[in-house]
Structure formats: structure tokens, C-alpha cells
Chains A and B, each alone.
Chain A
Amino acid sequence: MITAITTLTLLALCFGAILGYAAVKFRVEGDPIVARVDALLPQTQCGQCGYPGCRPYAEAICNGEVDINRCPPGGEATIIALADLLGVEPKSLDPEMGEERGPVVAVIDEQTCIGCTLCIQACPVDAILGSAKQMHTVINTECTGCELCVEPCPVDCIAIVAVPCEPQRWRWPLPHLLAEGVV
């Protein structure tokens, strides 16, 4: 009985020591604040802020390189949430970057598309489907409406259309936004 208890205790202690050592040895150095800022950004990866995606913008914000008002897709709600997280005063959206608008998606006019694959290469979220000399189409649930595909299209067959607010699409605003009186 005593042997059993001692053995198990010693075994557990021994394993505990190994895990403790491993926890020190394999510690992951992350920057949790960047992850939290990144989580507040809309993940459109559109680059309208001047950075190549949402994560680089989040890193730049955390390094204090840029202001928090450079994200048009996120709009005022994102700016207020960021200001709240970082403890700074909210500002209005920088008009240089573009203006806030409702959700949009890209739509390819499939009659005109020549299958050049240029828009596929431009899409940051892989929302365009198609292959060379085949008609392309946009997966509208994946599309973030970043407009990066409009520019490279040689036949101008991509249109950016607003997503209408229909009963099927309408969602309750997020509770923390409601509490802050943003919406």
C-alpha cells in the first residue's frame, strides 16, 4: 500500500519536473496584443490601409507606426473597438484611405470573362474559382469585397455590388458593439 502510494507520487513528481523543464525550454514567445488587434480587424486583406494585409497592419498599430483610423472596411465600429482595446481616443476614418460603406462582394460577368486567371492571382482570400481559358466565378461567401481583382481584369468584367440587407442575411449586431452604442 505504502509502496504503491510512494511509487505513484514519485512517478508523478518526476513527470512534473520533466514537463516543467519542457515548458521553459519550449516556451512560445508570442505577442498576444497583435493577435487581439488582428482579431478586431475585418480580415478583408484588402490593403487599403497601405499594409499588405490585416496582420501587418495590426503589427504596425502595435508598434505605434500608424493610426487606428486607416481601415475603411471595418469602419467606425472597428476604430472604436481598437481605441477601446488600446486605450486611446477614437478618431474618424482617415478620408485618404477611402470611405466606409456596407458589405460588398465582387461579381464576375461570366459572359465576358476570358479566363485569363489574373484576378485569381490578385485575390488575397482565394475566393475566385476557375482555371486558364475557363470561365471564372466568385465564391460570394468567401469574397471580402476588397476590390483587388477589379484592377488586373483586362476586360473589365468584374463588378463590385453591394450586398442587400435581406431578412436571410440580417444578423443581430454583436453585443459588445450594442453596449457601446456603436450601432
Chain B
Amino acid sequence: MVEYALLLASTILVNNIVLVKFLGLCPFMGVSRKLETAMGMGMATTFVLTLSSICSFLVNEYLLAPLELQYLQTISFILVIAVVVQFTEMVVHKTSPMLYQLLGIFLPLITTNCAVLGIALLNSQSQHGFIESAIYGFGAAIGFSLVLVLFAAMRERIIVADVPTPFRGSAIALITAGLMSLAFMGFTGLVK
């Protein structure tokens, strides 16, 4: 039990997928203009990432490994992720049209979110079991959402702040992201 808690804490804070591993940077910059969309994106990604991490583990463990087809990992994981994203899109469209409208183009774009494929590959690389895979995927997604929401909240304030003209827009956003990354380095050593 303790090791699962440690794994969760370490994926959320210490090995944060965005700020330490630098995966999933496009939605991090793209969807962080408004807090509302950032939350929606965080929730959608959490759902997709956890589910796809579990599904990729199952495909890898029970299909690719017995047939010794591990070299097909990347392509089959992409397939799994595409299906999970499509499925999520349908569910969101049905259950929450508001969220569907809000996420718009970004929902299909989770397919190309490198964090999702990255987590699936990292899972098989570090030979995680079923529960570990699920926790790893969930933790990474929570870390992603946490950072995304924090970043969006900061950007909303930065818009009204008096930023020097050359730094306006993306420049100040990238600097903020860099400073956040530095801040998250402070968590190193929290979990061994």
C-alpha cells in the first residue's frame, strides 16, 4: 500500500509529466488561457490517460508479450489511445454538451498528446504491473491537470498585469512555465 502511495506522489509531484519529463507541452501551452477550459482539459486527460494506460497494459501483457510481438508496442498503443479518445469524445458529447463545446478541438487532440503515449511506453519500460500501471497513468494525469490548472490561473492574472511589451503573450507564458518547472524541482528528494 505504501509503495502505491509513494508511486502516486512521485508521479504527481517529483516526476511531474509536464514540468520534469517535458511531455504534453502542447496542451499545456494551448489550453491554459482560461481556467475553465484548463479544468475541462484536465478532467478529459485524466480520464483518457488512466483508461489508456490500463488498456495499453492489458494489450501489452496479454496480447503482445505472449506472442513476442513487443516490437509492435508503439503502433498498438497508438491504436489503443485513438480508440479511448474517440470513446471519451462520444461519452462527453452525450453526457455534457457544454464541456464538449468548451473542449472543442482539444478533445481529439488528446490522441496526439505525447504524454499519453509516453506514459504507456514508460509503463512497459519500467515493467509496471496492472495496479502500478493504473496508478502511474492516474498520477501522471493528476500531475498534468494540477500543473495545467495552476498555469492557467497564473496566465489569467498575467493578462491583466503590467508586462513589458516585448514579453507579452507567449513569451511571458514560457518564462512562467520555466519558473514553474524550477519550482517543481524543489520536490526532488521528497520520494526516493
Contacts and interface: CB of A to CB of B under 8 A. Distances in A.
Interface of A: 3-4, 7-8, 11-12, 15, 18-19, 22-23, 26-28
B90 A15 contact: no
B69 interface: yes
Number of contact residues on B: which range applies?
10 to 19
Q: Which 8 A-B pairs have the closest CB atoms?
A: A26-B94, A26-B90, A15-B83, A22-B90, A28-B93, A22-B87, A4-B69, A3-B67
A23 B93 CA distance: 11
Given A15-B83, A19-B86, A7 B63 contact: yes
Interface in B71-122: 72, 75-76, 79-80, 83, 86-87, 90-91, 93-94, 97
Nearest to B71: A4
B72 A26 contact: no
B51 to A, nearest CB: 12
Given A3-B67, A7-B67, A26-B93, A18 B87 contact: yes
Contacts of B94: 26-28
A7 B69 contact: yes
B79 A11 contact: yes
A7 B72 CA distance: 10
A122 to B, nearest CB: 24
A101 to B, nearest CB: 32
A15 B79 contact: yes
B191 interface: no
Given A28-B93, A28-B94, A3 B86 contact: no
B79 to A, nearest CB: 6
B163 interface: no
A8 B76 contact: yes
Nearest to B83: A15
A126 to B, nearest CB: 15
Contacts of A8: 72, 75-76, 79
Q: Which of A7, A12, A15, A27 has the most CB of B within 10 A?
A: A15
Contacts of B75: 8
B59 interface: yes
A3 B93 contact: no
Given A4-B69, A7-B67, A12 B79 contact: yes
A42 to B, nearest CB: 20
A29 to B, nearest CB: 10
A19 B79 contact: no
Given A18-B87, A19-B83, A28-B94, A11 B69 contact: no
Nearest to B95: A26
A8 B63 CA distance: 10
A139 to B, nearest CB: 15
B150 to A, nearest CB: 27
Nearest to B76: A11
A57 to B, nearest CB: 20
Contacts of B64: 7
8 contacts: A3-B67, A8-B72, A8-B75, A11-B59, A15-B79, A19-B86, A22-B91, A23-B90
